[in-house]
């Protein structure tokens, strides 16, 4: 249901690779891990606006867009 509720965009640098693309839940887990993905998704579901942006210290910016 997460892919149905949100569009997840990843941008920034991770391990020398530049990202600026939409990903699914599997792609998000591959980049940040299961525990961090769960924290980010909980934050996105609690958000009352249409867009939630999460900036990680490792240089990634993850945006959740409700649709």
Residues of the domain holding 47: 2-15+25-62
Residue, of 14 and 54, whose pLDDT is higher = 54
Residue pair 52/64 in contact by the 8 Å Cβ criterion: yes
Q: Is residue 55 part of a domain?
A: yes
pLDDT band at 14 (very low <50, low <70, confident <90, very high): confident
Position 49 scores a pLDDT of 94
User: Residue 15 and residue 44: Cα distance in Å, rounded?
Assistant: 25
Q: Is residue 20 part of a domain?
A: no
User: Residue 19 and residue 5: Cα distance in Å, rounded?
Assistant: 22
User: Residue 10 and residue 26: Cα distance in Å, rounded?
Assistant: 13
Q: Is residue 67 part of a domain?
A: no
pLDDT tens figures, 22-47? 999 999 999 999 999 999 999 999 99
| Largest Cα–Cα separation, the chain | 34
Report the number of distinct structural domains present in the chain: 1
Position 27 scores a pLDDT of 94
> Hey, what are 5's tokens?
């509720």
């Amino acid at each position: 249901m997460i892919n149905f509720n949100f569009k997840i965009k990843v941008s920034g640098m991770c391990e020398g690779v530049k990202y600026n693309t939409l990903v699914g839940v599997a792609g998000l887990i591959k980049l940040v891990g299961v525990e961090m993905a769960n924290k980010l998704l909980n934050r996105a579901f609690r958000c009352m606006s249409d867009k939630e942006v999460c900036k990680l210290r490792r240089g990634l910016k993850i945006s959740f867009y409700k649709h």
